[in-house]
Amino acid sequence: MSHNRQEPSLPAFELKLPCREILENIRAGVFIVNTQDHCITYMNQASQTITGLSFEKIYGRHCFDLFTSTDCSANCPLDYTFKTGEPVYDFETKIICESGEKRPVSISTSALRDDCGNIIALVAIFRNLTKLKVSRKMVTKNYCLDDIVSKNPIMQNLFEILPRVASSETTILIEGASGTGKGLMAKAIHNLSPQKNKNLIKLNCGAIPETLLESELFGYAKGAFTDAKTDKPGLFSIANGGTLFLDEVGDMSHAFQVKLLKVIEEKEFYPVGATRPSQTNARIIAASNRNMEALVMEGKFRKDLYYRLNIIKLVLPDLKDRKEDIPLLVETFIQKISEKSNSPVKRVSNDVMAHLMKYNYPGNIRELENILEHACVLCPGDEIQLSQLPMDFLHHSRIPNNFSPNKGALQHSEARLTQEILHKHNGNRACAARELGISRSTLWRKIKQFRLA
């Protein structure tokens, strides 16, 4: 075979014929480079198919001509293996193919050694992740509703009823601790409703002083007070035809609760200083981080207003009660943060995921997002390490001895969910498999894998 360029020095080993035949018939791409300058000395047929480059075109060229990627210079897995002798497993990056298309691949690298243990060549095995990425997006889509992601059974039940709830005009009450996503739920309801093209107006009732709450919601007429130079519409007017989301409604005073009740019942209100009523048909979604029924029992919230708000009640679980969602949320937040800040971060290490799975999140989903944003700012590479996590979080998320991070956070989450579903059905594997959406034989393998029996 003749080449226009000078061939690089070949490694001091010979690829035997049976070995070549095996490599030519596997579906993963394989290429071998020498140790002097990382020039390619062998690539199998699958490599040529994935990259769109022929062996004749790539032979003798540097491997970064094949893997045109920012990782080639900053975070090369072959270079790491050459310097440390350690293998690299499932390193995800993107290559630019002959056609110019960016193609996601997973690379694993290892060293080839002679009889004395000296590294004589480096081998890389890579897989095309395009179909897997599409599959992941489809799976993730099944766990999404608007901006909410969850595979938790309670949340999935909410996902099922939400389109019907949103299509009605009834008042909705959302309960859940701070940071559980009440605002996102209100947004999802609005976006699924016939009013989706109208305004969604949000107000945190606990953040507005009592003296300003009335003018904020009802507006005021010109001359109502010294600085009222013109009429000002309130949020009920601005949200007319759309949705008004009243967060922390349990913090309202009794006096204002009476006024809100009248608006809900009569669909009209008086702006401050006005002599004529204004009309509104804004749909009201109320939310509270407190148990509203308990507030009624304690005499802190009017019973009649509670019943007006509580036609449909949606209760959001704490993150500690839906830990199977953590890997999904981590992936979603990292992608969101990286796109917003142009960060190189793509994932978290297994140790980091183990800590994230252990923690109970008093600040719920919002706290998880803040932890990841902190880590993304400090992370120089594509994988978040323990050293980049907030110190107070690390202090409170110490891993117990019986928790194995080597098993991987996703497996730990899957094992926990499987165990919970089995317990829920008193060990009935047929019912558990049905709820998990898998066959009984698959469930049996998982029970054996996770040692749940």
Q: Which residue has the higher pLDDT, 216 or 13?
A: 216
| pLDDT reading at 145 higher than 50 | yes
**Model confidence over 308-355: pLDDT tens digits?**
999 999 999 999 999 989 998 998 999 899 888 888 898 998 889 889
Q: Read off the pLDDT of residues 411-437 as tens digits, 9 standing for 90 and up.
A: 665 676 777 777 777 778 877 777 666
Looking at every residue in the chain, the average pLDDT score rounds to 82
Residue 170: the pLDDT is 93
**Which has the higher per-residue pLDDT, 99 or 427?**
427
Contact 105, 68 (CB under 8 A): no
Residue 6 predicted with pLDDT over 80: no
Predicted pLDDT of residue 407: 43
Range from 112-116, 388-392, 449-453 that averages highest in pLDDT: 388-392
pLDDT in tens, 231-249: 889 999 999 999 999 999 9
Pair 265, 283: CB distance under 8 Å: no
The band of 267, judged by pLDDT with boundaries at 50, 70 and 90, is: very high
Q: What average pLDDT does range 257-275 have in this prediction?
A: 92
pLDDT at 354: 86
**Between 188 and 453, the higher pLDDT residue:** 188
pLDDT for the residue numbered 413? 58
Nearest to 301 by CA among 288, 312, 313, 311: 288
Residue 249, phi then psi, degrees to nearest 5: -65, -20
pLDDT above 90 for 96: no
Which residues make beta-bridge pairs with 138? none
pLDDT, tens only, 101-134:
777 777 888 888 887 888 888 888 887 776 655 5
3-class secondary structure per residue, the chain? CCCCCCCCCCCCCCCCHHHHHHHHCCCCEEEEECCCCCEEEEECHHHHHHHCCCHHHHCCCEHHHHCCCCHHHHCCHHHHHHHHCCCEEEEEEEEECCCCCEEEEEEEEEEEECCCCCEEEEEEEEEECHHHHHHHHHHHHHCEECCEECCCHHHHHHHHHHHHHHHCCCCEEEECCCCCCHHHHHHHHHHHCCCCCCCEEEEEHHHCCHHHHHHHHHEECCCCCCCCCCCEECHHHHCCCCEEEEECHHHCCHHHHHHHHHHHHHCEECCECCCCCEECCCEEEEEECCCHHHHHHCCCCCHHHHHHHCCEEEECCCHHHCHHHHHHHHHHHHHHHHHHHCCCCCEECHHHHHHHHHCCCCCHHHHHHHHHHHHHHHCCCCEECHHHCCHHHHHHCCCCCCCCHHHCHHHHHHHHHHHHHHHHCCCCHHHHHHHHCCCHHHHHHHHHHHCCC
For the CA atoms of 446, 448, 449, 453, what is the dihedral angle to 10 degrees?
Answer: 90
Residue 24 pLDDT exceeds 60: yes
The pLDDT of residue 25 is 72
Q: Which domains does the chain have, with CATH numbers?
A: 17-130 (3.30.450.20), 143-317 (3.40.50.300), 320-407 (1.10.8.60), 410-450 (1.10.10)
* pLDDT of res. 139: 43
- In the predicted model, is pLDDT for residue 4 greater than 70? no
Axis crossing angle, helix 429-436 with helix 440-450, rounded to the nearest 10? 100
Residue 221 has what pLDDT?
87
Q: Of 434 and 266, which is predicted with more confidence?
A: 266
Report the half-sphere exposure of 434 (CA within 13 A, side-chain side).
7
Determine what percent of the chain is predicted with pLDDT higher than 70.
84
Q: Give 314's strand partners.
A: 174
Q: What is the pLDDT of residue 429?
A: 83
Say which residue the tokens 């899957």 belong to.
414
Confidence of residue 410 (pLDDT cuts 50, 70, 90): low
- More confident call, 434 vs 407: 434
- pLDDT > 90: percent of the chain: 39
Q: 259-263, 380-384, 427-431: which range is least confident on average?
A: 427-431
